């Protein structure tokens, strides 16, 4: 009885897991198109199965996995985002060695991301981190050249160390509460040292996933070494999942442990450092990588306000949805334009529609209304102000100006006259399709923000 109910609630996850298995089987026959078809079908089915469950607030398997607002919206955000990523992967590496394996790994990593987003238990977080991590290392290493191998090694070592620190630190919380369930964290009231030990563990483990400063070092290298489509995927899906997990863990933690302040400092450092570093990049992928680091700081503003503002959870969800759309879109344009800043020279003039789309993505990343990114940032800033972190909101606002400086470095050359050729590449149709979907989302969902979760 209980089991049946649990399995029914897990229908989206189970569907996706089944799809991933089938993809691996299809890959054994090297049927890349079939792998892609199964993946897309699985993602679509899981998305549809999620829709009727959005208002559910329940836990399954003895409270270890949560079916709630966060995990429901996480599925609605991550699954379509993964589907678009699969299209980009197809566009970039169609017909190359082990294309189907890459596709299967992407879906498996997304499964791990779902685990993180619904985690109600320390062990589920650990499984989620490991599942997303293992798949990601392999994805980064896929090109098999020196850069990719080095990036993947860095990523792996970083992941292994932070993962161990996290598991070690979580044992303190287990010791303090006698349970691995996050819902029991309220018992830590008063046990400051234990709270801090576990908190450091969580910040290290998930901060690495979400590329927070100072755990971000792997990100630019990994994005640069990996195929562009994989960089796009990792920059949105695993990162968003990390912040969903943050929300799941910290919403039960008493706010008097001082963690909001610690996270606020990290948030301020992350956004400032990310944009400052992005200002000096000449490689387009690295530039966007650093800008993604900065965006993590904004995510963290919502985490800081957990439990103190009704905007915190909606802010994280809305910003995640916006971020997935605009960052995937920007990467898709990079896939078409080229990996160097110089490749954008004159791009807006020779390819006016794609150029306009890129401008929309970049303005949305800056947070210019009425684009989707603005709505997310607005919620997050409101959350910070309401939680009493006005100074953090001010830093967030000042960084938006820095952000504009970063993104204008892309926009200005796009409209210069130049002789750079911008040939259509192979697989351009799929990439352009992704651009169309993401640009429509960026333009329109912000205007229809009433459909999104609110405080």
Partner 1 sequence: MPLLTIATFLPILAGLALMALPDRSTRTAHAVSIAATGAVFLITLAIWARGIVAGDFAQVEEIAWIPAIGAAYRLGVDGLSLPLVLLTSLLFFLSALYSARIGERAASYVVLMLMLETASLGTFMALDGLLFYVFFEVSLVGMYFMIAGWGYEERQRAALMFFLYTLLGSLPLLLAIIGLYLGSGTFDMRVWVEGTALGGLPAMLALIAMLVTFAVKIPAFPVHTWLPAAHVQAPTAGSVILAGVMLKFGTYGLVRFAYQMTPEAFAQAGQVILAFGVVSALYGAFAALAQSDLKKMIAYTSVNHMGYVVMGVAIAALATEPRIRTIALDGATLQMVSHGLVTGALFFLVGMLQDRAHTRGIGDFGGLLGRVPWLGWAFILSAFASLGLPGLAHFPAEFQIFLATLNGMPWGLIAILAIVITAALYLRAIAGVFLGEMNDKWADMPDLDRREKLVILPLLVLTVLIGVAPGWLIDMIHTTMMGLGN
φ, ψ of residue 264 in degrees (nearest 5)? -65, -40
Cα dihedral 326/331/335/338 (nearest 10):
110
- Distance from chain centroid for Cα 25: 28
Q: Are 198 and 172 in contact (CB under 8 A)?
A: yes
Q: For residues 39 and 46, give the distance between their C-alpha atoms in angstroms, rounded to a whole number.
A: 11
Q: Which of residues 95 and 450 has its CB atom nearest to partner 1 in the complex?
A: 450
Q: Which of residues 73 and 215 has its CB atom nearest to partner 1 in the complex?
A: 73
Q: Least distance in Å: CB of 368 to partner 1? A: 5
Q: Which of residues 112 and 314 has its CB atom nearest to partner 1 in the complex?
A: 314
Q: Least distance in Å: CB of 386 to partner 1? A: 6
- Distance from chain centroid for Cα 103: 18
Q: Least distance in Å: CB of 391 to partner 1? A: 11
Q: Which of residues 245 and 380 has its CB atom nearest to partner 1 in the complex?
A: 380
Q: Least distance in Å: CB of 417 to partner 1? A: 12
Interacting residues of 284 by C-beta distance below 8 A, sequence separation 6+: 334, 337, 338, 339, 340, 341, 343, 344, 410
Q: Which of residues 186 and 454 has its CB atom nearest to partner 1 in the complex?
A: 454
In 171-276, the DSSP E strands lie at none
- Distance from chain centroid for Cα 179: 29
Q: For residues 173 and 169, give the distance between their C-alpha atoms in angstroms, rounded to a whole number.
A: 7
Q: Which of residues 257 and 314 has its CB atom nearest to partner 1 in the complex?
A: 314
Token pair 């429509």 is found at 440
Q: Least distance in Å: CB of 397 to partner 1? A: 4
Q: Which of residues 6 and 386 has its CB atom nearest to partner 1 in the complex?
A: 386
Using alpha carbons, select from 352, 140, 161, 170 the residue that is nearest to residue 234.
140
At 188, list the tokens.
């830590």
Q: Least distance in Å: CB of 394 to partner 1? A: 7
Other Cβ atoms less than 10 A from the Cβ of 139: the count is 27
What angle in degrees, to the nearest 10, is found between the helix axes of 352-366 and 372-386? 0
Contact footprint for partner 1 (CB under 8 A): 314, 363, 368-370, 374, 378, 381-382, 385-386, 390, 393-394, 397-398, 400-401, 404-405, 408, 412, 415, 449-450, 453-455
Which sign, positive or negative, has the C-alpha torsion 404, 410, 415, 418? positive
At 127, list the tokens.
């499984």
Q: Least distance in Å: CB of 299 to partner 1? A: 18
Q: Least distance in Å: CB of 436 to partner 1? A: 15
Q: Which of residues 300 and 318 has its CB atom nearest to partner 1 in the complex?
A: 318
């Amino acid at each position: 009885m209980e089991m049946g109910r649990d399995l029914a609630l897990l229908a989206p996850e189970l569907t996706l897991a089944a799809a991933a298995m089938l993809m691996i089987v299809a890959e054994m026959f090297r049927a890349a198109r079939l792998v892609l078809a199964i993946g897309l079908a699985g993602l679509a089915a899981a998305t549809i199965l999620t829709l009727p469950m959005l208002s559910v607030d329940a836990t399954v398997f003895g409270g270890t996995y949560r079916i709630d607002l966060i995990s429901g919206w996480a599925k609605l955000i991550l699954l379509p985002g993964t589907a678009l990523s699969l299209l980009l992967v197809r566009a970039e590496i169609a017909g190359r060695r082990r294309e189907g394996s890459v596709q299967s790994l992407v879906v498996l990593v997304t499964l791990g991301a779902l685990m993180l987003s619904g985690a109600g238990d320390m062990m589920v977080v650990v499984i989620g981190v490991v599942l997303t991590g293992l798949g990601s290392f392999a994805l980064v290493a896929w090109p098999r050249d020196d850069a990719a191998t080095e990036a993947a090694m860095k990523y792996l070592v970083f992941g292994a160390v932070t993962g161990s620190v996290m598991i070690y630190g979580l044992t303190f919380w287990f010791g303090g509460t006698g349970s691995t369930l996050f819902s029991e964290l309220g018992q830590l009231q008063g046990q400051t040292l234990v709270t801090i030990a576990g908190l450091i563990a969580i910040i290290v483990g998930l901060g690495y996933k979400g590329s927070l400063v100072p755990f971000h070092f792997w990100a630019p290298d990994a994005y640069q070494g990996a195929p562009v489509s994989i960089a796009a995927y990792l920059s949105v899906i695993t990162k968003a999942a990390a912040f969903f997990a943050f929300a799941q863990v910290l919403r039960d933690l008493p706010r008097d442990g001082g963690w909001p302040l610690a996270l606020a400092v990290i948030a301020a450092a992350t956004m400032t450092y990310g944009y400052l570093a992005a200002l000096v990049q000449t490689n387009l992928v690295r530039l966007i990588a650093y800008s993604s680091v900065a965006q993590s700081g904004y995510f963290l503003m919502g985490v800081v306000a957990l439990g103190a503002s009704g905007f915190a959870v909606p802010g994280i969800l809305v910003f995640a949805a916006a971020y997935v759309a605009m960052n995937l879109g920007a990467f898709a344009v990079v896939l078409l334009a080229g990996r160097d800043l110089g490749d954008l020279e004159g791009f807006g003039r020779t390819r006016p529609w794609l150029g306009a789309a890129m401008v929309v993505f970049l303005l949305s990343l800056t947070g210019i209304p009425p684009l989707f990114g603005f709505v997310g940032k607005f919620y997050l800033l409101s959350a910070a102000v309401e939680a009493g972190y006005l100074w953090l909101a001010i830093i967030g606002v000042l960084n938006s100006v820095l952000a504009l400086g970063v993104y204008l470095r892309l926009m200005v050359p796009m409209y210069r006259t130049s002789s750079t050729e911008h040939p259509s590449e192979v697989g351009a149709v799929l990439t352009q399709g992704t651009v169309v979907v993401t640009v429509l989302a960026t333009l329109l969902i912000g205007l229809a923000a009433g459909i999104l979760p609110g405080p």
